[in-house]
């Protein structure tokens, strides 16, 4: 048996966290969890296995049934595991191990494929976190805070990993990316909703090693108007994202093209890529699984990835209301995800 033969080729079922329309955590029986009990509930539910090397928090997008959300996360990570097993030479940073463990955050994203349905889910994704009324920042904050509490102090080393070599990655699709940005940013604002109690200016920051959002349903200037605090600035050095924010886009995406244009007056990030941003950004294209990403391509605060060649959908889906909006479950996507995990080392 070769070393490649010994590499795992499957991933375990994800741990599922369910939220309601207000972003409130629910138990497996559907009972809302009071805010004061969120941390204890997550501590019971999210016991990070010692064998895990990478923790992926996945949030799905528009019109995604709960079972499909968990299945999509498993498929994407399964593709990544098989790529690493089939082409270990492409990922030298993962030579020791890559054993992902995932948490899937599910939320009610179903609506009719109409302009009204699009606006409904857009407003719901915002309301879950806006103005302190939604509980999503508490849920996401405690989730990331709990995971981070299991890791080493990020100030102790330039490599953000604990003694077990565990890295933390965010993965979102569509409104799931918008939801993630909104909730993570809100969770990082004072008053703190994280579990540690040191003052805001000096407390440990989020230690998110990478964030990858497929076909984000948000305005192109969202990182200027809505999510500027995700990134470090002279007045905000402790930003929640420590690694790159990577965003895919495709002109075949009708959901963030046609529907976003009608709902918000311009195409969205998932169709045309991010526009203005408070930090330097870079544009590249989605590569085939056999083509390695140069380091200087991904080593930026914001990376726009053109996926026109890959996220095209079929002839039927191109004419559907969403077009190729959900055509991201491909080996090329897994290759990008796996590369980000490798570069976090």
The kind and range of the H/E element at 340 are: helix 331-343
User: With 50 as the cut, is the pLDDT of residue 202 above it?
Assistant: no
Strand partners for 210: 169
Q: Token pair of 199, please? A: 């003052």
Report CA-CA distances (Å) from 182 to 223, 245, 291, 311, 314.
Answer: 11, 14, 33, 25, 32
Of the pLDDT bands very low, low, confident and very high (cuts 50, 70, 90), residue 319 is low
CB atoms within 10 A of CB 293: 20
- Tokens at residue 203, please? 């407390």
Q: Which residues does residue 283 pair with via DSSP β-bridges, in sequence order?
A: 304
User: Sheet harboring 210-214: ordered strands across?
Assistant: 25-26, 15-19, 100-106, 54-59, 167-173, 210-214, 245-249, 302-306, 281-285
Q: How confident is the model at residue 153 (pLDDT cuts 50, 70, 90)?
A: very low
Task: List the single range of 21-30, 163-172, 271-280, 309-318 with lowest mean pLDDT.
Answer: 163-172
- Residue 234 pLDDT more than 90? no
Which of the four pLDDT bands, split at 50, 70 and 90, describes residue 193?
Answer: very low
**Which of 41-50, 145-154, 245-254 holds the top average pLDDT?**
245-254
Confidence of residue 325 (pLDDT cuts 50, 70, 90): very high
Closest to 46 measured CA to CA, from 14, 10, 81, 78? 14
Taking the mean position of all CA atoms in its chain, how far away is CA 18? Answer: 16
- Which stretches of the chain are assigned E, i.e. beta strand? 15-19, 25-26, 54-59, 100-106, 167-173, 210-214, 245-249, 281-285, 302-306
With beta carbons less than 8 A apart as the criterion, state whether 298 and 243 touch: no
Q: How far does Cα 11 stand from its chain's mean position?
A: 18
Tally helices (H) and strands (E) across the chain: 11, 9
Return the pLDDT at 131: 61
Residue 158 has pLDDT above 70, yes or no: no
Indicate if the pLDDT at residue 157 is higher than 80.
no
1 against 213, higher pLDDT: 213
Return the minimum-mean-pLDDT range out of 62-66, 286-290, 327-331.
62-66
Whole-model pTM above 0.85? yes
Of 55, 76, 60, 79, the residue nearest 18 (C-alpha): 60
C-alpha to C-alpha distance for 140 and 180, rounded to whole angstroms: 8
pLDDT for res 322: 79
Q: What is the pLDDT of residues 127-146, one digit of tens each?
A: 777 666 677 777 777 666 66
The pLDDT of residue 7 is 66
Range among 25-34, 55-64, 167-176, 280-289 rated most confident: 280-289
Any bridge partners for residue 303, and if so which? Answer: 246, 282
């Amino acid at each position: 048996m070769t070393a490649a033969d010994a590499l795992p080729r499957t991933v375990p079922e994800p741990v599922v966290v369910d939220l309601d329309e207000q972003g409130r955590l629910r138990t497996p029986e559907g009972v809302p969890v009071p805010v004061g009990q969120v941390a204890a509930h997550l501590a019971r539910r999210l016991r990070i296995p010692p064998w895990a090397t990478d923790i992926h928090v996945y949030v799905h997008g528009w019109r995604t049934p709960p079972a499909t959300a968990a299945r999509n996360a498993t498929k994407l990570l399964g593709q990544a595991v098989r790529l690493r097993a089939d082409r270990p030479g492409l990922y030298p940073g993962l030579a020791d191990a890559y054993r992902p463990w995932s948490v899937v955050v599910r939320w009610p994203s179903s609506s009719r494929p109409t302009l009204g349905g699009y606006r409904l889910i857009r407003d719901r994704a915002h309301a879950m976190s806006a103005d302190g009324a939604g509980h999503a920042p508490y849920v996401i904050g405690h989730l990331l805070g709990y995971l981070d509490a299991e890791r080493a102090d990020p100030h102790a080393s330039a490599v953000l990993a604990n003694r077990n070599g565990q890295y933390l990655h965010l993965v979102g699709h569509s409104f799931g990316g918008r939801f993630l940005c909104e909730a993570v940013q809100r969770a990082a604002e004072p008053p703190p909703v994280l579990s540690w109690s040191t003052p805001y200016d000096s407390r440990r920051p989020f230690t998110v090693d990478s964030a990858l959002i497929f076909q984000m349903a948000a305005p192109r200037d969202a990182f200027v108007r809505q999510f500027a605090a995700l990134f470090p600035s002279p007045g905000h050095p402790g930003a929640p994202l420590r690694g790159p924010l990577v965003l895919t886009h495709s002109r075949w995406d009708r959901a963030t093209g046609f529907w976003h244009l009608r709902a918000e007056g311009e195409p969205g990030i998932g169709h045309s890529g991010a526009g203005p941003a408070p930090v330097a950004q870079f544009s590249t294209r989605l590569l085939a699984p056999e083509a390695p990403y140069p380091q200087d391509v991904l080593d930026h605060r914001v990376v726009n990835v053109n996926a026109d060649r890959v996220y095209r959908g079929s002839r039927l889906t191109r004419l559907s209301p969403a077009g190729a909006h959900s055509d991201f479950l491909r080996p090329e996507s897994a290759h990008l995800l796996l590369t980000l995990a490798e570069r976090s080392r």
